[in-house]
Amino acid sequence: MTTPADVTLPPHGRPVRKDEIEIQDRGLYIESWLPERRSRRRPLLFVHGELGGSWAWERFLGYFAGRGWEGHALNLRNHHWSQTADPAELSFESFVEDVGAAMDRLGPGVVAVGHGMGGLLVLKAAERHPVSALVLVASELPGDVREPTEPHRIREVPELFGPALLGWATLPEKLQRDHRDLNLADVLRIQHLMGQKPHESGRARRTMLRGVKVDPAKLGDVPKLVVGGGLDRVVPLDDSERLAEWLGAEYEPFGAHSHYGLILGEEGYAQVADAIRGFLEVHRL
C-alpha cells in the first residue's frame, strides 16, 4: 500500500515527493523519497544497522531523490516505524528475510545499500534475491573475512541490548570527541532516535560475531562498492579494504569519517553520497 505525502525541496537538488510502502504480512514500513518526475534510474534500497531505522538515511534519501533516484529506506521489524515485535524472538535470519521482502517488492533492478549490520544483511539477502548492484558502507564482515571472535565475547551479548552496548549511552560531549566528524546536533539526534526502540536482538548480534557465511559466487557479477571510514571504531578501515578485496569490489576510503559520520554527519555525508553517485553513474544505474 502506498500513500502520497508532501513535496520537499532538498538542498542543491530538485523537488522530491515523500511516500511510503507497507509490507503488511511482515509488518514492515519503508520510507520512500521519490523524484518529482519519474526517472529511468535504478531504485535504491537503504538498509540500516543495529538500533537504526530509516531515519539514518534521511540525508541520503534527499540527496539522491533530488538528483533523480528514488530511494527507499527499510525499517527492519521492531525498528522505528515498522511493527513492534519481541526483539528476543528476532534473529539475523529474520532480518535477512525482511530485506529480501523489500528487494522483492522493489524488483530485480534495485541497488541495495547497507550500513553496519545492514551491509551484511544486504549481502546475505542478495544471495537469494536478484539486485543490480551492491553498496556496502562500513559493513559488518562475513565469516570468511571476519577475524574469529573470542567465545566469551559472544557469551557476554545479552538477549536484548540497547545503546550502551554500542557506546552511545554516554555524554554527548564525549561522543562528539570520539566522532570528530559529527557536530553536537548530529550526536543528539542519533542518541534520541537510537533510543526510540531501545532493545536490539542479541541473537542477531551473536550470529554476526560467530560469522555469517556468504557465498560470493551467488552474488553474481553485479557492480559492488565498499566504503570505509578512517575514524571508524566499529568496522576499521582495514576491514573494509579486506572486504572489498574479497568481493572484488570497488573501494572508497574516507580517512576523516567515523562509523556514523559516513551516513549521518551533516558536514561529511555528502562526500560519501557523491562517491556513491559516481559509482552509480559509471555503471549507468
pLDDT of the residue at 1:
38
- Residue 83 within any structural domain of the chain: yes
Cβ-defined contacts of 112-115 (< 8 Å, 24+): 112/45, 112/47, 113/44, 113/45, 113/46, 113/47, 113/60, 113/137, 113/276, 114/46, 114/47, 114/49, 114/139, 115/46, 115/47, 115/48, 115/49, 115/52, 115/56, 115/139, 115/262, 115/263
Q: Over range 125-144, report the average pLDDT.
A: 97
- Residue 260 within any structural domain of the chain: yes
pLDDT digits (tens, 9 = 90+) for 51-102: 999 999 999 999 999 999 999 999 998 887 777 778 888 999 999 999 999 9
pLDDT of the residue at 3:
38
- Total number of domains constituting the chain: 1
Assess whether pLDDT exceeds 60 at residue 122.
Answer: yes
The DSSP bridge partners found for residue 200 are 161
pLDDT of the residue at 11:
57
For 156, residues 6+ apart whose C-beta sits below 8 A from its C-beta are none
pTM above 0.75, yes or no: yes
- Residue 32 within any structural domain of the chain: yes
* Half-sphere exposure at residue 67, Cβ-oriented, CA atoms within 13 angstroms: 19
The values of phi and psi at residue 243, to 5°, are -65, -45
Q: Which of 79-93, 144-158, 159-173 shows the lowest mean pLDDT across its residues? A: 79-93
Question: Whose grid coordinates read 540527496?
Answer: 63
Q: 250 with 276: CB under 8 angstroms? A: no
The values of phi and psi at residue 105, to 5°, are -65, -40
- Residue 2 within any structural domain of the chain: no
What is the C-alpha to C-alpha distance for residues 103 and 264, in angstroms, rounded to an integer?
Answer: 24
Which band of pLDDT confidence, cut at 50, 70 and 90, is reported for residue 8? low
Q: Over range 2-12, report the average pLDDT.
A: 48
What is the C-alpha to C-alpha distance for residues 275 and 251, in angstroms, rounded to an integer?
Answer: 10
Assess whether pLDDT exceeds 60 at residue 169.
Answer: yes
- Residue 1 within any structural domain of the chain: no
For 180, residues 6+ apart whose C-beta sits below 8 A from its C-beta are 231, 256, 258
Supply the range of the domain harboring residue 125: 7-282
- Residue 14 within any structural domain of the chain: yes
- Residue 131 within any structural domain of the chain: yes
Q: What is the CATH number of the domain that holds 150?
A: 3.40.50.1820
Residue type, 237: L
For the chain, counts of helices (H) and of strands (E): 10, 11
Assess whether pLDDT exceeds 50 at residue 178.
Answer: yes
- Residue 97 within any structural domain of the chain: yes
What phi-psi label fits residue 138: left (phi over 0), alpha (psi between -120 and 50 degrees) or beta?
Answer: left
Q: 74 with 28: CB under 8 angstroms? A: yes
